[in-house]
Chains A and B, each alone.
Chain A
């Protein structure tokens, strides 16, 4: 199932050129750019692993693209996202976040229904391995 998280995720995947321009936009705004990766894209998993330290003192996005290439080389089979963190007073939060890599086989999510006391129904989203991978 095609994961849709963060900005641009309903569009076709960004090309490297487009990623470069988005990152340059972040740098021009003085945001710290982070590269993060995970093998658990569950929407409740907010803790993705960081690739290196935040990059906030670069002039050009080529430096970030260099790290991204390195990250893809090592974790090409996982989800990778880039985020821009605005540390200025009053914001102090992530301003942009978008996917820049997905595994060849994406997992899917199952909706699980549970009936509990008093006819109450509870739902949970469960991460399942990709259908193609499971026989």
Chain B
């Protein structure tokens, strides 16, 4: 993992014989590409204050660790396995991808690929199926990050002969012995992860960083929606923006609300309705502005506004349109 060949910036290398006496921190950070990645993290992700500051801390530690190594000081390769806990759609997968980039930039993983798996990818159907399956995934993840979503499904407390246990044991072994070869990130919903760690203390102790993802506030969700629209080349009209504020407040009280993901789905459906509205009147000249603007009617047509209050036996679903 820690291969410290000064890949692209020869000025970092210093003399071959004696370590350099001073280090230009800015240059070091930029050479590793973390300034850029951290800036992206800051701008492309709304909110998530605690997460961002943790990621920043880890990046700083790794940067200093790398410089200490080169200065010939005592340095121990840090344990980098992490767990991300938080409700659906709070950005765990998104941050994991960024994390891989940071680790790769600093040379703590050699390739920087992210292999994202769930129980089905690791656990087999019959005796002798699990070990090869888990190893196959581990081999692919070597040199990068293994992201295990909803990790608690690996452990089935009601069935002690469950094959999940076998996968857990192989994972634990590799997490301990091949720390230089891969970084494991476990993700899942808060409470169930706590239970999972309680019944698998081996995992808990091998994980250095437990990061919690808070739910978004209404204001943050609005910012996220505007960011998403901007990325897709749209924007709200003043009335539409106001309508969407109401939409968020209503949607949050309804079942199966999943933070930013619900917002993303809402944005996609709003685009559909906007297109439909434009196409329904074929006898007019479209202006660029028409193509870019989301009207309040596009938002208000959503079923969220007509839905009866939650708990009245409606079929609840993420399809809520």
Contact surface of A with B, Cβ cutoff 8 Å: 55, 57-64, 66-67
Using CB atoms, name the residue of chain A closest to B182.
A62
Are A59 and B181 CB-contacts (below 8 A) given A66-B139, A66-B142?
no
Mask, B83-117, CB within 8 Å of A = 1, is 00000000000000000000000000011010000
Residues in chain A near residue B140, CB distance under 8 A: 57-59, 63
Q: Tell me the chain B residues, 123-170 only, with Cβ under 8 Å from chain A.
A: 135, 138-140, 142-144
Q: Could you say which residues of chain B place their CB within 8 Å of the CB of A62?
A: 110, 139, 142-143, 178, 181-182
Chain B residues contacting A63 (CB-CB under 8 Å) are 138-140, 142
Taken together as a complex, chains A and B put the C-alpha atoms of A66 and B174 apart, in Å, by: 10
| B110 nearest CB neighbor, chain A only | A60
Quick check: A60 and B138 within 8 Å, CB to CB? no
Which A residues are CB-close (under 8 A) to B142? Answer: 58-63, 66
Chain B interface extent, by class: 10 to 19
Q: List 11 A-B contacts (CB under 8 A).
A: A57-B140, A58-B142, A59-B113, A60-B111, A60-B143, A60-B144, A60-B181, A61-B142, A63-B140, A66-B138, A67-B139
Beta-carbon nearest neighbor of B143 in chain A = A60
What is the minimal beta-carbon distance from A131 to any residue of chain B, in angstroms? 39
Give the distance to chain A from B244, nearest Cβ to Cβ, in Å.
42
CB of A59 within 8 A of CB of B138, answer no
With a CB–CB cut-off of 8 A, which chain B residues contact A64?
A: 139
Give 20 A-B pairs besides A62-B139, A63-B138 with Cβ atoms closer than 8 angstroms. A55-B139, A57-B140, A58-B140, A58-B142, A59-B111, A59-B113, A59-B140, A59-B142, A59-B143, A60-B111, A60-B142, A60-B181, A61-B142, A62-B178, A62-B181, A62-B182, A63-B140, A63-B142, A66-B135, A66-B178
